[in-house]
């Protein structure tokens, strides 16, 4: 079967019955993999495309390689990502990663020159917090709001945002516990103070619907290797009217364009990542993010009900509409040993973080619960 036809028929089968998606991710048949918040297994479709590309790079000829390294493919990837977040393709730039995107935003806003401050919180990604800590050491006014019971209390945020705030930066879905911030309230607060909102959506894109316009998001970034189903590849969204005005381009190279969000691009993209994303985004769109999110709900709800009852209190707020739930462990070493024996893959550094994607079924959740018994 031709590659495109195989992907379309797999995605249609998964859309009709999500358990069909399991066949597209062979890893899921070998281990109980509930760890997409760390990295998504690759599908047979993305792998097949990348293998064809690698074959072309190994054996040539030029025409075979050109099938994968071309502007049309990149344009389609940008269009598909834009559609995923309700942006326009001109609002999307490629970046190597989430954190590169966040750095481009911090640099481009000229925060210190304007005597401004940045507000973030401790549910943001550790690498980003390290970034802000280093910037604070360099003299930037950085305000880190503490969570209350693993959620953001708007009153705490309101207390530190002022007219000098230039940027509020959050992980819209926190990697710590899957908490989904009240993004509209935060963007309203930012805008009321003349500030902008940056959202890290690596734990959300591909898993939960995103609408940058309705949510009032000014800047957004993510990598593709989690719920976007693979590829060391990333995206930066910059609201059209902020491009080159509020957000200056500070780094330039062969891919920097005079207009559009690609003005923030510098170098040749990872074509391998782009080839992977070209397949993955088609697959995600063909199933539909609504459907993907709905599939995750009963799995997460069951974990949220059963694990606390089994002695693992949750740190994920009830009703959080993400694909991630986290639990505390009294004896992490014992839990790790149980998961190892049962071949269950979840994150157990700190808390136990469980995450589900298209290939997971309730049987995976059964196995995780049985492993802990």
Ligand X SMILES: Cc1ncc(COP(=O)(O)O)c(C=O)c1O
**Where does this chain bind ligand X (CB under 6 A)?**
97-99, 125, 127, 171, 175, 200, 202-203, 223, 234
Nearest CA-CA partner of 222 in 204, 242, 240, 248: 204
DSSP string for 177-240? T--B--HHHHHHHHHHTT-EEEEE-TTTTTTS---HHHHT-SEEEEESSSTT---S-EEEEE-G
Q: How far is the CB of 326 from ligand X (least distance, A)?
A: 12
Q: How far is the CB of 221 from ligand X (least distance, A)?
A: 8
Calpha distance 103→167 (Å, rounded) = 12
Nearer to ligand X by Cβ, of 117 and 203: the residue is 203
With 0-12 / 13-18 / 19 or more C-beta atoms within 10 angstroms meaning exposed / middle / buried, residue 160 is middle
Q: How far is the CB of 236 from ligand X (least distance, A)?
A: 11
**Which 8-state DSSP code applies to residue 296?**
H
Nearer to ligand X by Cβ, of 61 and 349: the residue is 349
Q: How far is the CB of 55 from ligand X (least distance, A)?
A: 28
Q: How far is the CB of 179 from ligand X (least distance, A)?
A: 11
Are 226 and 40 within 8 A, CB to CB?
yes
Q: What angle, 0 to 180 degrees and rounded to 10, lies between the N-to-C axes of helices 71-85 and 271-287?
A: 40
Nearest CA-CA partner of 14 in 283, 296, 204, 299: 283
Nearer to ligand X by Cβ, of 18 and 123: the residue is 123
Nearer to ligand X by Cβ, of 98 and 279: the residue is 98
Q: How far is the CB of 158 from ligand X (least distance, A)?
A: 24
Q: How far is the CB of 224 from ligand X (least distance, A)?
A: 9
SS (H, E, C) 51-104: HHHHHHHHHCCHHHHHCCCCHHHHHHHHHHHHHHHCCCHHHEEEECCHHHHHHH
Q: How far is the CB of 234 from ligand X (least distance, A)?
A: 6
Q: How far is the CB of 253 from ligand X (least distance, A)?
A: 19
Calpha distance 42→27 (Å, rounded) = 8
Percent helix, strand and coil across the chain, each rounded to 5?
A: 45, 15, 40
DSSP string for 301-314? HHHHHHHHHTT--B
b/e sequence 307-325, b meaning 16+ C-beta within 10 Å: beeeebebbbeeebebbbb
């Amino acid at each position: 079967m031709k590659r495109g036809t195989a992907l379309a028929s797999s995605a249609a089968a998964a859309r009709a019955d999500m358990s069909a998606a399991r066949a597209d991710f062979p890893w899921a048949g070998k281990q109980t993999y509930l760890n997409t918040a760390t990295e998504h297994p690759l599908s047979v479709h993305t792998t097949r495309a990348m293998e064809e590309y690698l074959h072309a790079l190994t054996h040539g000829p030029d025409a075979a390689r050109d099938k994968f390294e071309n502007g049309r493919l990149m344009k389609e990837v940008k269009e598909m990502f834009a559609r995923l977040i309700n942006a326009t393709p001109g609002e999307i730039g490629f970046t190597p990663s989430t954190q590169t995107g966040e750095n481009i935003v911090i640099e481009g806003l000229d925060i210190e020159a304007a005597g401004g401050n940045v507000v973030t919180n401790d549910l943001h990604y550790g690498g980003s917090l390290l970034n802000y800590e280093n910037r604070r050491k360099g003299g930037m006014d950085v305000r880190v709001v503490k969570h209350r019971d693993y959620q953001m209390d708007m009153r705490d945020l309101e207390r530190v945002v002022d007219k000098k705030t230039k940027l509020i930066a959050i992980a819209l879905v926190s990697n710590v516990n899957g908490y989904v911030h009240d993004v509209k309230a935060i963007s309203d607060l930012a805008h009321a103070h003349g500030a902008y909102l940056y959202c890290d959506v690596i734990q959300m894109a591909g898993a939960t619907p995103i609408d940058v316009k309705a949510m009032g998001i000014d800047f957004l970034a993510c990598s593709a290797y989690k719920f976007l189903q693979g590829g060391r590849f990333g995206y930066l969204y910059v609201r059209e009217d902020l491009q080159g005005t509020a957000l200056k381009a500070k780094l330039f190279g062969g891919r920097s364009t005079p207009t559009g969000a690609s003005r923030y691009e510098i170098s040749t993209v990872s074509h391998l990542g782009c080839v992977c994303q070209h397949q993955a985004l088609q697959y995600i769109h063909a199933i539909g993010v609504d459907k993907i999110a709905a599939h995750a709900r009963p799995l997460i709800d069951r974990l949220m009900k059963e694990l606390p009852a089994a002695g693992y209190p949750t740190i994920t707020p009830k009703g959080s509409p993400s694909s991630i739930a986290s639990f505390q462990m009294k004896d992490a070493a014992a839990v790790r040993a149980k998961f190892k024996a049962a071949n269950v893959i979840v994150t157990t550094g700190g808390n136990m973080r469980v995450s589900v994607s298209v290939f997971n079924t309730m049987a995976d959740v059964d196995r995780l619960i049985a492993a802990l018994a």
